[in-house]
């Protein structure tokens, strides 16, 4: 059995996460038992939600245990199998975590933690992005919470990331004016020219919610009907000032507060004044919609209607630095680590 490099969480951040929170560990993969599958990971996913799991505070998911492999999505190939449903050579998606190999047990397989994917028309890496959890997250927030109608204005923060790019394609296909918020002129140009956004607001020149709200107003002259919120903080305050009556907010991420800083809401009265619906959600709690969402997303990628961009770090050793860069917006598109 091969040696396996893993990244463990060895201590919890005090404020910003640092490389010293992680440690590279080399282990020996155990021999397979009946029903188990050995997967060699080709790519692993880095996602903002992982920062929240590094804390010991109460959240929607259990904290990442210290001294164990960081959790996360992976795609790869079955290299040894004692399970007839997963033959050697099958390409698979799983939750293998920050490591080069994973042994998947029958219990994990029964719980949906490993599935075969078709790479004929969709590249393997896209099953960690546009045709995976981020894409389904965008689909659920848009379709089930923002409930778009043709002609309405839909807005998404972190617009050029894996979720935002999928949101743009899904929103445009439903006839909506689609506006993004991103960091930097290059990302905003990419959002408009490549992802199909009607407009994109660069938040970086703005130091307060009032200034950012004015820029959003210029991009959304008819106000905002649906907002997919990934950031929180000043960005959410600015969006709130532009929400229309009976607007809908899908609250997916609060990356501005992942370092533990308080994030007070400056204009809570607007929720009442505009009769807003604000709903937080965790996409893993809505597995019933995944087949429908993945079918639409897979078709979009296969036909070129969604052309997701990826930032790829090389090798398991690069994962901590790449993850810290993701939290600071240094990635361009879906952040992955290539392992082979």
- Give residue-wise pLDDT tens across range 46-103: 998 899 899 987 776 789 999 999 999 999 999 999 999 999 999 999 999 999 999 9
pTM: 0.90
Domains in the chain, number: 2
Same domain for 79 and 177, yes or no, is: no
Same domain for 112 and 7, yes or no, is: yes
Same domain for 23 and 53, yes or no, is: yes
- The answer to whether 125 and 43 are in contact (CB under 8 A) is yes
pLDDT digits (tens, 9 = 90+) for 145-155: 999 999 999 99
Q: What is the C-alpha to C-alpha distance for residues 26 and 224, in angstroms, rounded to an integer?
A: 50
pLDDT digits (tens, 9 = 90+) for 210-223: 999 999 999 999 99
Cβ-count burial of 226 within 10 angstroms (0-12 exposed, 13-18 middle, 19+ buried)? buried
Strand partners for 178 = 154
Domain that holds residue 278: 133-284
Mean pLDDT of the chain: 95
Encoded tokens for 282: 């965790």
Q: For residue 41, what is the domain's CATH number?
A: 3.90.180.10
Say if 300 falls within a structural domain.
no
If you write DSSP's letter for every residue of 202-225 in order, what string do you get? E-TT--SHHHHHHHHHHH-TT-EE
Q: For residue 221, what is the domain's CATH number?
A: 3.40.50.720
Say if 93 falls within a structural domain.
yes
Same domain for 163 and 279, yes or no, is: yes
Encoded tokens for 84: 């007839």
Same domain for 116 and 182, yes or no, is: no
Specify the pLDDT at position 251: 96
Q: C-alpha distances in angstroms, 31 versus 100, 107, 182?
A: 16, 17, 47
Percent of the chain with pLDDT over 90: 87
């Amino acid at each position: 059995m091969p040696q396996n490099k893993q990244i463990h969480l060895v201590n919890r951040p005090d404020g910003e996460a640092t490389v010293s929170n992680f440690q590279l560990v080399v282990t020996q993969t155990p021999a397979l038992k009946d029903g188990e599958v050995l997967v060699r990971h080709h790519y692993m996913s880095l996602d903002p939600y992982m920062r929240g799991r590094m804390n010991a505070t109460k959240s929607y998911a259990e904290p990442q245990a210290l001294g164990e492999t960081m959790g996360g999505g992976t795609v790869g190939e079955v290299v040894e199998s004692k399970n007839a449903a997963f033959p050697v050579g099958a390409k698979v998606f799983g939750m293998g975590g920050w490591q080069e190999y994973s042994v998947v047990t029958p219990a994990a397989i029964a719980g949906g933690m490993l599935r075969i994917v078709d790479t004929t028309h969709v590249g393997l890496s896209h099953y960690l992005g546009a045709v995976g959890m981020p894409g389904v997250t965008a689909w659920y927030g848009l379709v089930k919470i923002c409930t778009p109608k043709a002609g309405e204005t839909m807005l998404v923060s972190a617009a050029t990331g894996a979720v935002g790019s999928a949101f743009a394609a899904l929103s445009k296909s439903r006839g909506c004016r689609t506006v993004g918020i991103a960091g930097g002129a290059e990302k905003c140009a990419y959002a408009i020219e490549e992802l199909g956004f009607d407009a994109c607001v660069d938040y970086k020149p703005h130091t307060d919610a009032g200034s950012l709200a004015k820029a959003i107003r210029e991009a959304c002259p008819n106000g905002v009907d649906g907002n997919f919120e990934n950031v929180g903080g000043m960005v959410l305050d600015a969006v709130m000032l532009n929400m229309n009556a009976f607007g809908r907010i899908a609250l997916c991420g609060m990356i501005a507060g992942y370092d533990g800083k308080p994030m007070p809401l400056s204009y809570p009265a607007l929720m009442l004044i505009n009769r807003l619906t604000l709903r937080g959600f965790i996409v893993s709690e809505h597995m019933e919609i995944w087949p429908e969402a993945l079918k639409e997303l897979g078709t979009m990628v296969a036909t070129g209607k969604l052309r997701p961009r990826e930032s790829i770090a090389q090798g398991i050793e690069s994962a901590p630095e790449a993850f810290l860069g993701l939290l600071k917006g240094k990635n361009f598109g879906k952040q992955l680590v290539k392992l082979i």
